[in-house]
Structure 1
């Protein structure tokens, strides 16, 4: 039953058990849910929450709701789903401004009508929102050619804890005033403020969009070919390497013993044909034992499924860890992971993105089917090893009990004092997502 109450400011909060249950974070239930219909309601809500010292956890599609450390308090869930409009689209300038609650799929559908697209990918794109992607720094494999999402953001509006709206940048590419301030919110998990609007630059939709998926007998062969591609004239939109059980779930192959290399090539017909021929030469020279070419419709579905791997409610990974590392260390890391997989009888699958040096490690299984104490011990030892060998290791998903024993963020990064000082300026009462980001801010 719906239990909605209007406060003295005219804001409507939902206190019903059924609604609040949809916003559980790390087994914590919010006291209420607030769903604004416009920026003025956000302003009043944030100002009132700050005055009453009530904590806020912003929600987009809820796809990363358990990312980060558990909150130290959780009074209200801020549901941004109704703020999902396109504010301004200038096709000639290849720019767009949107409300933060618009989903990635909805945005791409609007852009497709104009032959344009936003060159990013993220898990569960039918649910995940632009604001959520930015706050969690959630990136899929489409980053090789066009870079990080932060490089596409040209402006932003957000609310600080006083309810004041702050505007950075603009809605045209040449206006970059305040751009660095906007960058601070990317990956800050909503701890610096509530992102309400985002302006971005776009790209023309490629005329041809193909993917080559090649099979190799081992990881070393696949990574060697990826290095050859990196130093060639081939310019992929995306390039990923993944293990056999990932391929099996994607429907690419039933051969779970092989390692797979997928390369997304886009452009005009002649350019794609030339790059595809060069790519296949690398695969043959690298002892690829099989390959297939996916055309336009197959390509879109394939890359979204790969991006979704481990995040779907139907088959979530037990734990997901993203490692940023120098790929010269790949053999040492792989040997360790294969060793613990055998010794601890764990099912570990890998997705590598050599173009920007990340490895996504998935522990497959369900909490109810494992010895959690044994798994926790093995997992902690693995994280310690990975952090000793890598630039950065972030635990993106794991059982809540493990977060009581290990910090998902790892060591405090260089430059973090600046982030803390900005946190103190924008949110001195620590009401935004308290305790969830690096060093408990």
Structure 2
């Protein structure tokens, strides 16, 4: 919910036009601007004295015809009164993502037609600048910020008004665009009584350098009718102006993205540390996990608590996964080494059993040859062949156990990790930055604000 700081620059211009036609009545254009005390100058000459007396007479006549409790109809009771509004924005900021607020300093002016203020022009004077107290004696539109959250009034030479209004976060933070809008309308008059229309909305040329984290990319205006929830056939005339901002990414690149990337790269150092240096590898992994967690929690302090992930959350979570995976890799190494040793011990145990079987088998052959005279001649060569094959297999297994060191398995895992981790992280960064900078369009851009 963004807030708006409106400095109402109060001025009153009374413009006149005379005509004998009923269609062209004497009218008065009412503007709010700064009080002009020039009519009270003590050094006025004699010609100005006549002007002052005529102005006093005109004002007395105007006030007699004025009833500030009723809106002007200008001879057309069935048509609503049109109020023209223009805004000159001279400053925006600060913008708070945590509270969803923004501040805006601007000049706010209104113009409407009230034929009860018409007067006969004085020699060359078609308009008069009057004191702001004169506003208390005439009808004024009850204009206010419809999506206002809080307002207070203070006086510094002229009345000033402070208002706060609501606004959206995108989920592409911090690569997003923000749209902060202001809604202006009448408090009590429906659109069949008072209608609003924009005259213009201007931005001061110095606006572009006022915000440290945002760049003002543009604005646009809209006019709509806001339905009254209490009545189906009633609506208020509402003016809307949208300010579009593009977030500057330099702060987040220096404070979040760069440290997170360096921590991920630091976690890969453990792949070059000897597997026997358990304290060093574990300490490095734990420190990297805690560091990336701290960055993640710190980055959310100034942001609203939302249920959806932002682009920054996705990056930090992915960095955390890489760091945590580097720590888990050492656990995998230890598990693989232990499993490999157990497997080889079982193979050695199997070889010992085969040795006992061979001894028993050889003894059986010798016993059979001595005890049996009617033995079939083919049985002895067959048993000798089986015995020979078992001996060859056992010899090869022993040689394989001698040639395979458990350290080779560990080194192979570390070697693969040295290649896969950097390549995966580079691929993630390419996909991340291309997606959020080029492929994924921001919601504000899609709405053509």
TM-score class normalised by the smaller sequence: under 0.3
TM-score (norm. length: structure 1)? 0.20
Greater share of helix = 2
TM superposition score normalised by structure 2? 0.20
Which of the pair has more CA radius of gyration? Answer: 2
